[in-house]
A = this chain, B = another copy of it.
């Protein structure tokens, strides 16, 4: 059970006033808010043991290294990875996807195929386009239906012995659809294809067990996971990570360097060149702990209540159309009202203190599919309330009557 009053106290930003109104933050799919414990963890790092990690003999360096590696283990255990070196710290989901996509340049050739879904975020499209350009591999797009649900029969048809990679968002940021990754993994694996799952939108809401699901690669962003900006995680199976060449060259990722030849360090260091986001990595561990203290189940249940309530309240507004009507959704609602431009609604809502996202949500192909320029997207977190939803629904009505 969520103790909403207690939880809201963890997020000082929720007391902000925007244009005279109390902030209502419904842009959680873009960036989640950060609980005090996470911010304090960052401050504590800088005030007490800020230091470059690894290789350092002095105490601060030891403390920082231990805290950073402890965070890696917290994250390992959150995703139930087999080894802690399967957890690679990145600067975010985009970085994680690029690391893998760039690594596959050595492993793909002309004639190979990559399947991605019709509902991917640009970060999970462009790196694969770049990979295809480099290698001559072909990008195939698995379609969705008008509910924003993937058509699984198509996966069965598209996936074949040429399929080398299948990339798919666990949850669509623009629609909220939770994709059936278990089925996709099984189809892909039966064709010996490797699967990268973009978990940016899933990790804050759904407990993931990478071993149980037999996941190959999984990426997440700290800033969507109650953690800080500038940090994320790539999970990869040991044997797959070993196949990838290093992504960046630098300190940390080497074993020996001479001008003639350089040998690379083992996992995870091979992929962590240079000084990492130490404070961020440590704080991301704290954020994951924070989420687990509340509990994924309690979060899912609470957010689902908000989702169902908001959906039914919004649908009472005449002319409002929701995009993404899967049975299986996280607390994300994308909608439009008649021909009113999302930007206009977003602007009026902001005047009333409500933060929603408007536009294409970095998923232009989805907008093209629905033939719309964009949507208004509201996305909830476990610190949001029904009262906030009521205020939003009334505000939308007000905006509609102003703009209509």
How many Å lie between the Cα of A43 and that of B52 in the bound state?
Answer: 21
Contact A251 B127 (CB under 8 A): no
Contact A23 B57 (CB under 8 A): no
Count of chain A residues with Cβ under 8 Å from any Cβ of B?
A: 91
The CB with the most chain B CB atoms within 10 A, among A33, A58, A251, is that of A58
A274 at the interface (CB under 8 A from B): yes
Query: Inside 8 A of A354's CB, which chain B residues have their CB?
Result: 58
Contact B262 A126 (CB under 8 A): yes
Contact B46 A13 (CB under 8 A): yes
A250 at the interface (CB under 8 A from B): yes
Contact A248 B94 (CB under 8 A): yes
Contact A59 B19 (CB under 8 A): yes
Given contact pairs A23-B60, A274-B123, A350-B57, A355 touches B51 in the complex (Cβ within 8 A): yes
Contact A249 B127 (CB under 8 A): yes
Query: Inside 8 A of A358's CB, which chain B residues have their CB?
Result: 57
Query: Inside 8 A of A61's CB, which chain B residues have their CB?
Result: 27, 30, 355
In the complex, which of the residues B55, B94, B350 contacts A250, with contact meaning CB atoms closer than 8 Å? Answer: B94
The CB with the most chain B CB atoms within 10 A, among A223, A257, A354, A362, is that of A257
A266 at the interface (CB under 8 A from B): no
Query: Inside 8 A of A158's CB, which chain B residues have their CB?
Result: none
Q: Whose C-beta in chain B lies nearest to the C-beta of A254?
A: B122
A164 at the interface (CB under 8 A from B): no
Number of chain copies forming the complex: 2
Contact with B along A70-97 (1 / 0, CB 8 A): 0000000000000000000001111101
Contact A39 B31 (CB under 8 A): no
In the complex, which of the residues B12, B46, B359 contacts A34, with contact meaning CB atoms closer than 8 Å? Answer: B46
Given contact pairs A51-B30, A365-B258, A59 touches B350 in the complex (Cβ within 8 A): yes
In the complex, which of the residues B13, B43, B50 contacts A42, with contact meaning CB atoms closer than 8 Å? Answer: B43
Of A175-183, A184-192, A275-283, which stretch is located at the interface? A275-283
In the complex, which of the residues B25, B47, B129 contacts A60, with contact meaning CB atoms closer than 8 Å? Answer: B25
Chain A 113-148 residues near chain B, CB threshold 8 A:
121-123, 125-130, 139, 141
Chain A 31-51 residues near chain B, CB threshold 8 A:
31, 33-34, 36, 38-39, 42-43, 46-51
Of A228-236, A295-303, A395-403, which stretch is located at the interface? A228-236
A220 at the interface (CB under 8 A from B): no
A240 at the interface (CB under 8 A from B): no
Given contact pairs A13-B46, A230-B91, A275 touches B368 in the complex (Cβ within 8 A): no
Query: Inside 8 A of A259's CB, which chain B residues have their CB?
Result: 125, 139, 141, 365
In the complex, which of the residues B34, B95, B273 contacts A94, with contact meaning CB atoms closer than 8 Å? Answer: B273
Query: Inside 8 A of A43's CB, which chain B residues have their CB?
Result: 39, 42-43
A18 at the interface (CB under 8 A from B): yes
In the complex, which of the residues B18, B93, B278 contacts A274, with contact meaning CB atoms closer than 8 Å? Answer: B93
How many Å lie between the Cα of A279 and that of B228 in the bound state?
Answer: 8
Query: A352 → chain B, closest Cβ, in Å?
Result: 10
Q: Whose C-beta in chain B lies nearest to the C-beta of A141?
A: B259
Given contact pairs A12-B47, A275-B229, A279-B229, A355 touches B58 in the complex (Cβ within 8 A): yes
How many Å lie between the Cα of A279 and that of B45 in the bound state?
Answer: 15
Of A204-212, A321-329, A341-349, which stretch is located at the interface? A341-349
A356 at the interface (CB under 8 A from B): yes
Q: List 7 A-B contacts (CB under 8 A).
A: A23-B60, A31-B51, A122-B262, A125-B262, A130-B249, A223-B278, A258-B368
A13-B49, A130-B246, A229-B278 known; 16 new pairs, CB 8 Å cut-off, are A30-B51, A31-B51, A58-B350, A94-B248, A98-B249, A122-B251, A123-B250, A123-B273, A125-B259, A127-B248, A127-B250, A129-B249, A141-B259, A221-B274, A230-B231, A231-B277
Q: Which 7 residue pairs of A and B lie closest in terms of their CB atoms, listed nearest first?
A: A230-B277, A94-B274, A126-B249, A123-B250, A94-B250, A58-B355, A30-B52
